[in-house]
Structure 1
Amino acid sequence: MYRAHVREEDEKVQALKEHLLETKQLAEGFGAKLGLKHVAGLAGLLHDLGKYSDRFQTYLYQAVWEPEKTLFKRGDVDHATAGGRLLFEYYHTKSHTPHEKLLAEIVGNAIISHHANLHDYISPTCESDFLRRVQEKELPEYDLAKERFFADTMTKKDFKHYVTAAVSELTQFMTLDPTQTFFLTKYIFSCLIDADRTNTRMFEDQVQEEKPLKHHRLFAHYHDRLLNHLAALQNNSKAHEPINVLRAKMSEQCELFAERPSGIYTLSIPTGGGKTLASLRYALKHAQQHHKQRIIYIVPFTTIIEQNAQEVRDILEDEGHILEHHSNVIEEEETGDEPDDGVITKKEKLKLARDSWESPIIFTTLVQFLNVFYAKGNRNTRRLHNLSHSVLIFDEVQKVPTTCVSLFNEALNFLKEFAHSSILLCTATQPTLENVPHSLLKERDGEIVHNLSDVSQAFKRVDIVDKTDQPLTNEKLAEWIQTEVSSWGSTLVILNTKSVVKDLYERLKDSPFPIYHLSTSMCAAHRKNQLAAIRELLKEGTPFICVTTQLIEAGVDVSFKCVIRSLAGLDSVAQAAGRCNRHGEDQLRHVYVIDHMEEKLSKLKEIEVGKGITGNILTRFKRKPEKYEGSILSQAAISEYFLYYYRKLDVNLNYYVKEVDKEMTKLLMSLNKENSYVTYYQKKTGTAFPLLLNGSYKTAADHFHVIEQKTTSVIAPYGEGQEIIAQLNSDEWLDDLSKVLKTAQQYTVNLYPQEMESLIQENAIVRHLDGMVFELKEGWYSDEYGVDVTGEGGMGFMSW
């Protein structure tokens, strides 16, 4: 029997034939969602063909039973190239059709890359890593591996029929469009990675394939519970107040709109208008009507995940099927092409853990969504196929980073056009994503809310007071707040940088009023506890002060009596205003917009540009308020803001990879005639470039970061954080690893490279499981600030 894996626990062997056929079957199920059953299945069938060699069989046997005799070191035996080479050898000659060649290139790249990242078809050095693997690399015993595959797993005749079916699917699915081929390649890669890891995990955990969820029945059940919750709200004594009547009406509009075909639509409910439940109502109804398999909320900040996920859990009365995905707790190491994967060790089990967005309802971040399509690390790409046949709800969509606008639009267009998904863009301040290069294919007449201007006016609960004529320092700001807070009541101060927030907090700490601080340096569980305490004070009506960055603006359900917002983009001002008098408790309250003198915005280009444009609109508003319907937050003002904003940042909308002096869309989605690498290759070699595809997929992924500086997730010594570290480092956590990793996300903080480096130098970071999981030591986490690089944390500071 040829071996694929050996379980370390009991030395049980998984047969290679069994692994290949079962992985094929899983991949077929994932690929079938796009009509690509055999294309994806082919990747599963061939991915470990190289394990039929004597070299691999010897390596695996000795690694388990004769470790003192090992002939081969880690990485010596290449088992991933053989399957890709077989496809290229059999289906990529002059006599083959374009779609046969395309199949060999797409599936072949997935196979040779399944332990790393997709390879470049052509690289910035004008060489082809893909061709090097499938044509040039020395593969001892390649012919032997092929012979054993056809004898043991599938006959040549059956294989030929299978490939014919795959070519037919590919021909029906696509033209040779470069944008389409990039996303298709990523999709097939996703199917393979998830199928391979899932089958290996099932063997390791000794479990059978789980019965698939009956999504239609589950969503119908959820829909009934949501309608019961909304009906109960109608029995509330305040149900007949104008704002609540309007909320109910917009919710009903979402229910009716859900019957429309899948597409890209907008839901522009004003802040405080019940957007979360209205969008959920649309999603649950649409999922039933159009046979969707999951509902995915994508939000800009983790603070919204924490709040919205809990609200949805409470209403649907289901803890088990609702996943919060904040970030990757496990750091994927750079393993090269051939990791030591035959023996399933504890470390390997971390990689196999279920992390593929299988849950029917998922809450995740915009960073994680973009990483699925464009970042390196096949843990990210593994999730992609589960975005198909879904309802995707983008909450506060205006927060898409400008550098990622083109990439965001292209991903959504693929999901709409080819992956049978429906997309809802939710925000009170809709960005004009359809009026930029690489435009978004929104549906015409796709706004769900009727009479938007009238609705916005009906929801007016604040007056924006422009105080930008006299720039303020923190010293002056603190004096003003302390003088007025007793008359204002609960006061929220939102500034643009962490440093000025912390400084203002320090200046206000001696105030007779309670003072709170919120920061992204805190783990999710910490912020959740802080917000719970804040909500208690809001309920009591106690005057207090909360100082924070913009993390509180998007979707956090709090309602202060007064808000002070440092000048920024008009969308940020509107979101800040949504934290004031949110539920119309008073007739009108004030939101003060200030110009802060001490904020350094030179490295925060988007905020700096937004601040300048908003300042200009405020000036024009003073002269001609009627142009903006008498409101600085009108639809006219917001549209004008985004028009100037995207125009000003036009050169930044397409992610630029400075290391190779190219826009990322050109690296991923260009035709041969547009590709300078191909042109140079042909001049250098005097021959035509031999491949149909020419994307530099690995180069693009290596240099892509949604946030300019890549962050590292560290588990904080807060609450259950220490217990989780103990579990991850013990021998007893393996049975429920996926659950532990999900819980750990609540206790992680994402650190920038300079913060991480500083803490490592101070010996404040502990590495676990060969550096795949990081722990922050006690003493480096503060109850006031979260991660404390001074090492003076853990002193049990009070909140005021």
Structure 2
Amino acid sequence: MNFIAHIRESDKTIQTVEEHLLAAKELAETYGEKLGVKHLTGLAGMLHDLGKYSNEFREYILQAVNNPAAPPKRGSVDHSTAGGKLLYELFHKDNISRYKGVVAEIVGNAILSHHSYLQDFLNPELESNYLSRVRDKDLKDFEITKKLFFENVISEQDFHHFVNKAAIELEAFLAKESSENTEKQLMFLTKFIFSSLIDADRTNTRQFEGNRTNEKTIDHEKLFSVYYEKVINKINTFKNDSNADHPINVLRTEMSDQCDVFAEKPSGIYTLSIPTGGGKTLASLRYALKHAKLFNKKRIIYIVPYTTIIEQNAQEVRDILHDSGNILEHHSNIIENENENDELQDGFMSVQQKLKIAKDNWDSPIIFTTMVQFLNVFYAKGSRNIRRLHNLAESVIIFDEVQKVPISCVSLFNQALNFLKTYAQSSIVLCTATQPALDFVENKLEINPDAEIIGHLDQVIEAFRRVEIIDLATNQTFTNEKLADFIEAKMEDVQSVLIILNTKTVVKNLYTILKERNIQASAYHLSTSMCAAHRNNILIKVKDDLLSKNKIICISTQLIEAGVDVSFECVIRSLAGLDSIAQAAGRCNRHGEKDIQNVYVIDHEEENLKHLKEISVGKQISKKILVDLNQDASNHGGHILSKLAMERYFKEFYTKFSSDLNYFIPGLNKTMTELLTANKNKSGFYQAYKARNGGVPPLFLVNSYKTAAEHFQVIEDLTTSVIVPFEDGKEIIANLNSDGSIDDLTRLLRKAQHYTINLFKYELDQLSKNDGLVSYLDGKIFVLKAGAYDREFGLNLENDSQLPLEYI
């Protein structure tokens, strides 16, 4: 009798359990080799669907496929517990050796969690989700299941040899750091194993469903060599440019050359403090390609603070490399994250199963994504996020505008980077014009000595000074009406003005006021209420007007001040943190086209910053520094954007948030780090368990992975990605319900990245109330109706846009 892992939708071909387990094992082993733990990851792959060796599961899947109108009873079959239970019974019950016992826990947890998320070893209720499954749950026909496994997949003797090798790998892994870091090491190792298992399982399932046993692999070394030559050719063309001898262009070339030389150093954590407008994208790409080529890295990953920056940076790299197929933009998770166990969808192609196994694992050679998505990989719930973790290994990871790491996540960010550097053979570049002090936390960043790539920084910063910051914030405030008057007056003297304000509401209102005044200039509005494709269309028009020296006014939220290559004659920035002011200044006279130009800093009284604590605090600290400079022009290095001023700003900023830096969870009175890396001596849950039960739980680990993930969110208000009916977004929406293949769905979801916006819950609720929202694919994907999207402003919560869809 064949025991069934999956039944192919197209031709009803059966994939047997042994075929799937051995294929998943082989894939997981290739992922585990990156950390030297291939037996640990292979063990997870080999055991994850052990529970499918049962008549119960065989009958269940046949009924589900043959009678789709009358599916089997939900909750009737558990196939994910068996593998963890086998490890527990063999290596955790009697005559336990420490390393094999820990193997049973970390690999077993990954196995029993592969349809949900890692379980708590000990939770706030002082119970063990892990033990309740592997120890307490009674599995029907478990003895038969084990017998079939040892007969068909691996002999019992060979299995014990395999576990011995996994235990040796674990011991070697833990030997890399002192014993005081053991729980932290095991936390990251468990997540890496879980990531490898999830991706191996889903990749093999996708390959079987598409009837493809072997997929073409990329020769990364060859590809990066070709890319590197293209970068060098691009740089050589600059030398023949008529402006090549301009001081700024000479400096850009020097800094790019320094990046090239520095790429020959071993992998580590480094800083790249190129001033705004200094050619950061090209210089960092040059470093990444050469380093990847020399040190056999598999991919280059750019992490940016906002989705709004991705499209321009990615396009700039595409233009240099003349390649789009190998460059992935990952803006956000279009599919609603899994909140439920999807075990009962496994084996046959439900809508949920198609979405689950679509290629979403960051295996492209070059990837652009956000800080939110990076942190979600390590800490957020749902298997879709963590699936990508193993592909962060053996990579060059460039963090653009690293000063934008959310305050509550600084400590977690540092721990993730330390893991990638120490264990995952990744090289990390912290790239920004305003390097923050990321060591004001308990879990410090293990940055390399002599980490700065650019030499003589003070001289470079001074040489790049192209603007004068004019303080209009210390002695007055502005309304939108007063600001409109000021803009009208400035337009008498200049061709272009950029205004950056802190909230979408004041941006929209100022734009409306200026339009009503009929100022003789093109006016543009930009905000995150627009999808990437929409914003990109507007930015193209903005750049065309700037190039043609047409009169132009652009009003934007802060999305324009990082990574967007525009150069205005005049910039007005609403008071915020010094890093934001510096970024705004980088959009003025960006290429030194003119002598020193003015950047005006104002205090806007109509901005409501009640829910924007970090902007509010940054504004207060910046104002204090401005006051100091007004009183004595030699304070803080004599300039608002000096290195001394920046150091003072970040030190005070992080001190102000000192209680928030370790991601404190008020309801549990614990930090995320305590939940994730608890040891028995310090765990409050462990001590409480001992007091209540008069004994200790039979566990090596007491981490609370599931609880930590359920409490984690990078920003305080979770957002949901929604596809909008803008241009190609209409076609994407039309194709969502078509009966396409997994590959078709993968391509559709990747393309949809450009046609999404992220909505807060109150926005979703208002749209639902106004009938502006539709759900597709069993409620997993949301889209806007035509009336809920506007040509000028993007999102329309009232769902009453008067613009016909064909005009958008």
Match of 2:566 in 1: 558
Match of 1:478 in 2: 484
Q: Does 1:448 align with 2:453?
A: yes
Q: Does 1:314 align with 2:319?
A: yes
Aligned with 1:190: secondary structure?
helix
Q: Report deviation, 1:265.
A: 0.4
Provide the rounded CA distance (Å) in 2 between the counterparts of 1:41 and 1:732: 32
Match of 2:627 in 1: 619
Provide the rounded CA distance (Å) in 2 between the counterparts of 1:87 and 1:610: 52
CA contact (8 A) 2:351 2:778 kept: no
Q: 1:189 aligns with which of 191, 194, 200?
A: 194
Greater Cα shift, 116-125 or 501-510: 501-510
Q: 1:544 aligns with which of 542, 549, 552?
A: 552
Match of 2:498 in 1: 492
Match of 2:52 in 1: 51
- Give 2:137's aligned amino acid: K
1:367-382 pair list within 5 angstroms: 367-382=372-387
CA contact (8 A) 1:781 1:794 kept: no
Match of 2:703 in 1: 695
Q: Report deviation, 1:720.
A: 0.5
Provide the rounded CA distance (Å) in 2 between the counterparts of 1:420 and 1:735: 31
- Give 1:99's aligned amino acid: Y
Provide the rounded CA distance (Å) in 1 between the counterparts of 2:13 and 2:492: 71
CA contact (8 A) 2:116 2:338 kept: no
- Give 1:5's aligned amino acid: H
- Give 1:170's aligned amino acid: L
Q: Report deviation, 1:211.
A: 3.4
Match of 1:576 in 2: 584
Match of 1:398 in 2: 403
Match of 2:359 in 1: 354
Deviations, residues 468-522 of structure 1 (Å, cap 9, x unaligned): 1111111111111122223132111111111111111111112322211101010
- Give 1:744's aligned amino acid: A
Provide the rounded CA distance (Å) in 2 between the counterparts of 1:42 and 1:333: 25
Aligned with 1:714: secondary structure?
strand
Q: Report deviation, 1:335.
A: 2.2
Match of 1:125 in 2: 125
Q: Report deviation, 1:316.
A: 0.7
Match of 2:309 in 1: 304
Q: 2:782 aligns with which of 771, 774, 794?
A: 774
Provide the rounded CA distance (Å) in 2 between the counterparts of 1:486 and 1:529: 27
CA contact (8 A) 2:77 2:344 kept: no
Distance 1:798 1:555, change over 3 A: farther
Q: Normalising by structure 1, what TM-score? A: 0.98
- Give 1:162's aligned amino acid: F
For structure 2, list consecutive stretches of 5 or more residues without a partner in the other structure.
none
Q: Does 1:752 align with 2:760?
A: yes
- Give 1:281's aligned amino acid: R
Match of 1:519 in 2: 527
Q: Does 1:332 align with 2:340?
A: no
Paired residues in the alignment total 798
Q: Report deviation, 1:53.
A: 1.2
Provide the rounded CA distance (Å) in 2 between the counterparts of 1:630 and 1:685: 64
Q: 1:208 aligns with which of 198, 209, 213?
A: 213
- Give 1:163's aligned amino acid: V
Provide the rounded CA distance (Å) in 1 between the counterparts of 2:741 and 2:15: 23
Q: CA RMSD in A?
A: 1.5
Q: Does 1:141 align with 2:141?
A: yes
Provide the rounded CA distance (Å) in 2 between the counterparts of 1:275 and 1:141: 61
Deviations, residues 659-686 of structure 1 (Å, cap 9, x unaligned): 3222111111122111101110111111
Aligned with 1:456: secondary structure?
helix
Q: 1:592 aligns with which of 591, 596, 600?
A: 600
CA contact (8 A) 2:770 2:798 kept: no
CA contact (8 A) 1:182 1:668 kept: yes
State the percentage of identical aligned residues. 55
Q: Report deviation, 1:9.
A: 2.3
Q: Report deviation, 1:619.
A: 1.4
Match of 1:706 in 2: 714
Aligned with 1:491: secondary structure?
strand
Match of 1:437 in 2: 442
Provide the rounded CA distance (Å) in 2 between the counterparts of 1:653 and 1:526: 35
Q: Report deviation, 1:763.
A: 1.8
Q: Does 1:628 align with 2:629?
A: no
1:24-39 pair list within 5 angstroms: 24-39=25-40
Q: 2:793 aligns with which of 781, 785, 788?
A: 785
Q: Normalising by structure 2, what TM-score? A: 0.97
- Give 2:773's aligned amino acid: I
Aligned with 2:454: secondary structure?
coil
Q: Report deviation, 1:346.
A: 3.9
Aligned with 1:362: secondary structure?
strand
Match of 1:534 in 2: 542
Match of 1:158 in 2: 158
Deviations, residues 625-650 of structure 1 (Å, cap 9, x unaligned): 33433321111111111011101110
Q: Does 1:653 align with 2:679?
A: no
Greater Cα shift, 591-600 or 169-178: 169-178
For structure 1, list consecutive stretches of 5 or more residues without a partner in the other structure.
none
- Give 2:563's aligned amino acid: G
Provide the rounded CA distance (Å) in 1 between the counterparts of 2:564 and 2:39: 45
Provide the rounded CA distance (Å) in 2 between the counterparts of 1:516 and 1:486: 18
1:104-119 pair list within 5 angstroms: 104-119=104-119
CA contact (8 A) 2:5 2:15 kept: yes
Q: Report deviation, 1:288.
A: 1.2
CA contact (8 A) 1:727 1:733 kept: no
Provide the rounded CA distance (Å) in 1 between the counterparts of 2:608 and 2:381: 32
Deviations, residues 222-241 of structure 1 (Å, cap 9, x unaligned): 00000000000111000011
Provide the rounded CA distance (Å) in 1 between the counterparts of 2:206 and 2:777: 18
Q: Report deviation, 1:621.
A: 1.9
Provide the rounded CA distance (Å) in 1 between the counterparts of 2:672 and 2:445: 17
- Give 2:606's aligned amino acid: E
Q: Does 1:275 align with 2:280?
A: yes
Q: Report deviation, 1:533.
A: 0.6
Provide the rounded CA distance (Å) in 1 between the counterparts of 2:805 and 2:140: 64
Deviations, residues 354-378 of structure 1 (Å, cap 9, x unaligned): 1100001000000100000000110
CA contact (8 A) 1:434 1:442 kept: no
Match of 1:224 in 2: 229
Q: Report deviation, 1:732.
A: 3.5
Q: Does 1:89 align with 2:97?
A: no
Provide the rounded CA distance (Å) in 1 between the counterparts of 2:69 and 2:608: 60
Q: Does 1:795 align with 2:803?
A: yes
Provide the rounded CA distance (Å) in 2 between the counterparts of 1:485 and 1:55: 76
Distance 1:744 1:95, change over 3 A: same
CA contact (8 A) 2:479 2:604 kept: yes
Match of 1:62 in 2: 63
Match of 2:262 in 1: 257
Provide the rounded CA distance (Å) in 2 between the counterparts of 1:68 and 1:248: 66
CA contact (8 A) 2:723 2:756 kept: yes
Match of 1:764 in 2: 772
Q: Report deviation, 1:543.
A: 1.9
Aligned with 1:470: secondary structure?
coil
Provide the rounded CA distance (Å) in 2 between the counterparts of 1:441 and 1:67: 54
Greater Cα shift, 712-721 or 205-214: 205-214
Distance 1:482 1:792, change over 3 A: farther
Q: Does 1:287 align with 2:287?
A: no
CA contact (8 A) 2:357 2:742 kept: no
- Give 2:65's aligned amino acid: V
Greater Cα shift, 732-741 or 143-152: 732-741
CA contact (8 A) 2:767 2:798 kept: no
